[in-house]
Each structure stands twice: as C-alpha cells, then as structure tokens.
Amino acid sequence: MPGRSRPDRGGQMREQGWSAPQSAALYERAQRSIPDGSSRSMLLRRPHPIYVDHAAGAWVTDVDGNRYLDCNNNFASIIIGHADPGISAAVAVRMARGSAFSLANDVEIDLAELLCERVESFELIRFCNSGTEAVMAALKAARGFTGRPNVIKVEGSYHGTYDHAEASLGADPSNWGDVAAPRTVPYAFGTPTSVAHEVGIIAYNDAEGARVAIEQAGDQLAAVLLDPMPNRVGMPDLEPEFIAAVRETTRKVGALLVLDEVITFRLGHGGMQTLAEIDPDLTTLGKIIGGGFPVGAIAGRTGPMETFVRIDGDRAKVPSGGTFSANPITMAAGHETMTRLDHDAFARLDYIGEAVRSGLRELFDRAGLEWQVTGRGSLFRVHSHQRHIRNYRDSYQSSDEKAVVEQFGLRMQANGVYFIGDSLGSLNLATTDEDIEHFLMAAAASLPGG
C-alpha cells in the first residue's frame, strides 16, 4: 500500500506523522536565491513546499521518499497520468530531433487539426506558452477586432497573472461594493489605475447584473471574459439564464464572448462549451492540451482569429509570437494526450470524480460536518460551509473556514494524499478504484474529529 499512512485491519487510517527534512533543507536553500523560495506562490504550503523526486501514474514521491496520491495534478494540467510511457515516447522521438527551432514544425498542424475537429467554435487556433498568455492574446484580439478598449469579467475568477485579467481576483467585503454592480478591485500593487476604467466586474450567475453591465458598457465593450466553472469562485454550476444573458447581450452590443477553458477543457471531449452548449467567439486553452508541458492556445471564429493574420505580409492587427510557442516537444506531448482522450477516457474521469465527490459527501454526513463539495468531471472543491454557492461572495471563506480546510489538506498530506485543501482537487486517468478507496480513507482520517 503506497503512502506513509496505511489502513489497519479495521480499515482505519493511522497517521504516522509526516516529516520531510530534505524538502525543508531545499526550501531553506531556495530562499537565498529565489524571492519567497519559489517561482510559484501556490507551492508555498506550510511548513514548506514539498520537493518532488519523481512520479508515476497517479502517485508522486517526494525527495524524502513520502508517497502521495496526486489529487492536484499540477493544478489540473496532468490528465493521462504522470510519466506516462506513451507521452514519454512521443516526447523522446521528437527530442531526438531537437527541441526548439526558428523553423516551423508539422506537429503544430496535427494538434491544431485535432482540436479544431473537436469543437464547433474552433475554426482556427494559435498556440502560446501558458494560459495567462492565451487570455492576454484573446483580450488583445477582442480589442483589435472590435476596436474597443474595455472588458468585463467575473468577480473572483482567475485567468492568470495579466493585470486586466486579475481584476477583483482578491476582492473582499471591505472593497467589493454592491453585488449588483461589483467594484473593480486591482489585485497586484502597482496595477495601473486605468484598469479600474477598462475592466468591469459582474457577479457569477447574476443574469440581470450581467445584462445591465454589458448594456452600460455598450459600444466601448470589446469582450466578456468568462470561465464556465470558475475554480476560485468555488466551482459553482453555471446557470443557463446567466450564460444566455451574457451571450445574448454581448451579441446585442457587438462585443465578443471569450470563454476561458484553460481548466474546464478537461471536463469533456469538446470541453465545457460542448457540454453546456455555449457558443463563444474565442476560447482560451492551456494545461491538458500540452500533455504536461507549458502551453496555451487561443481558438475561435475566423473573424476575431484573423486579427492574428499579417496584413499584406506585414504586421497583423494583433501581432503575436513567442520564442517557444508551438515548440515541437509540447505539441507532440499534447497531440499524444489529446488523441488518447476519447469518450471512454472522459467517462472514466467522470466516474472517478463522482466517486470522490459522493464519497466525501457521505463522509461529511457521517461526521456530522456541515461541509460540501462542488465540481464536476475530474474536478472537485471542498468547502467547510453549506452556503449555496452561486458566486464568489457565497464561497468567500471566513478566516476560520479557510483555516479548517487548509488543515484538512495538510492532514491529507500526512495521510498520503497530495490535496491542497482550499484549492481545486483534480484527478488523473491513472487513478484506480483502490486509489479512490485510499483517498476516502485518508479523508475520513483527516476531517476534523477523524
């Protein structure tokens, strides 16, 4: 049985105490050359980040030899499994021919064709290196296509680290204003004040609020940026009236709908837009389509996608490029991954996701905890309250609520599950039924009173 905690004969987990002295020492060293010790703030867990040694399938081993069932999967970017032999082989074949060139490569076309065949709204696609970059490029394309400056986004929704896309990501009760017309709250210190004029904020699932905001923005609005199951909003269900209002009103004022499927593309063969019958103008992608390598993409209707086309061989309306964009290693890993993700694969991902969600609900009931779990497909999110979550404000945690889910995540870690308690849970295809049992046993032992 993998992991440091093992079930005893009675099926109980026994926490053996978690220790990771080698990770602690590496973190100590890292802080001398890297601000905060890591280039990724999200890895800074208490008491220190865990340093990976290697992984296989659904399991990760750290430098101290601790093993964890991976229920984060690099924030939902690994979907087939770690160190998958098929992906490794596809990468090795390409690596043997060189990794990066200022010459075009044919796998870019293979992956472009595969993705465009899958999704009705993907008439054209262009690759970049991250979801952040994809969102940035999509907003630029929307501005270039419409000739308008402003965008509207959802309060609390994460779309990467671009100033405009970050607006109101960290809004809180002291600054968020009226829910019917939320204030635009800058995220990073030093954000240009113009962001407050250029980005409007709506509450998720507020159809009327969206309609009013879009109509008011009118002929100054380039796009509405929307994630169809925003993680940091608590993974609420998308209400049909809301998406209908956004789609209808953007069309009415001549603005684009940019759907951010960087995460939700892992929910089905054609992403969430196929499942929920959404018809976006542009879609941003990332994570799974790179098969474990850095990636982003902008896909969509020919009109706005043609803002990337050079005019008479000269500069495009929206010039774009990138030294490593569409590099053959990422494209090969992405192509192998997306080819393997057929309907059966998504059915299995739905099954294991539902097993975790329903198993957790049963555990919360049994423990008399007023907790809940949201999510769909291979994604889930735990909340230590039972407020009905329709928007960011419903899921916004008090410091006590946050502390208790964080503690749950840390105890899961000690019980052999890598799960960041107050972040998204994400499962990969290599997760077996026994792994789910391990997860639920670890959860039972890690909940308050467990």
Q: Which residues bind ligand PLP (CB under 6 A)?
A: 75, 130-132, 135, 158-160, 227, 231, 260, 262-263, 286, 296
Please state, in angstroms and rounded to a whole number, the distance separating the CA atoms of residues 303 and 306: 5
Shortest spacing between CB 243 and ligand PLP, in angstroms: 16
Question: Shortest Cβ contact with ligand PLP: which residue?
Answer: 131
Q: Which residue, 7 or 228, has its beta carbon nearer to ligand PLP? A: 228
Shortest spacing between CB 127 and ligand PLP, in angstroms: 12
* Strand 150-154 to 221-226 pairing: parallel
Q: Which residue, 144 or 286, has its beta carbon nearer to ligand PLP? A: 286
Contact between residue 382 and residue 359 where contact means Cβ atoms under 8 Å apart:
no
Write down the residue that tokens 């002295």 correspond to.
21
Q: Which residue, 4 or 232, has its beta carbon nearer to ligand PLP? A: 232
Shortest spacing between CB 204 and ligand PLP, in angstroms: 13
Shortest spacing between CB 153 and ligand PLP, in angstroms: 11
Please state, in angstroms and rounded to a whole number, the distance separating the CA atoms of residues 95 and 293: 13
Q: Which residue, 138 or 441, has its beta carbon nearer to ligand PLP? A: 138
Phi, psi of 236 (to 5 degrees): -75, 160
Residues 6+ apart with CB under 8 A from 80: 86, 87, 291, 337, 340, 341, 428, 429, 430
* Strand 425-426 to 379-383 pairing: antiparallel
The angle that helices 328-340 and 85-95 make with each other, rounded to 10 degrees, is 150
Q: Which residue, 198 or 260, has its beta carbon nearer to ligand PLP? A: 260
Shortest spacing between CB 408 and ligand PLP, in angstroms: 21
Shortest spacing between CB 295 and ligand PLP, in angstroms: 8
Shortest spacing between CB 286 and ligand PLP, in angstroms: 4
Phi, psi of 124 (to 5 degrees): -140, 155
Q: Which residue, 207 or 285, has its beta carbon nearer to ligand PLP? A: 285
* The token pair that represents 404 in the structure block: 């208790």
Shortest spacing between CB 377 and ligand PLP, in angstroms: 14
Q: Which residue, 105 or 231, has its beta carbon nearer to ligand PLP? A: 231
Q: Which residue, 273 or 446, has its beta carbon nearer to ligand PLP? A: 273
Write down the residue that tokens 């499942």 correspond to.
275
Shortest spacing between CB 294 and ligand PLP, in angstroms: 7
Exposed e or buried b for every residue in 109-127, given b needs 16+ CB within 10 A?
ebbbebbeebbebbebbbb
Q: Which residue, 5 or 231, has its beta carbon nearer to ligand PLP? A: 231
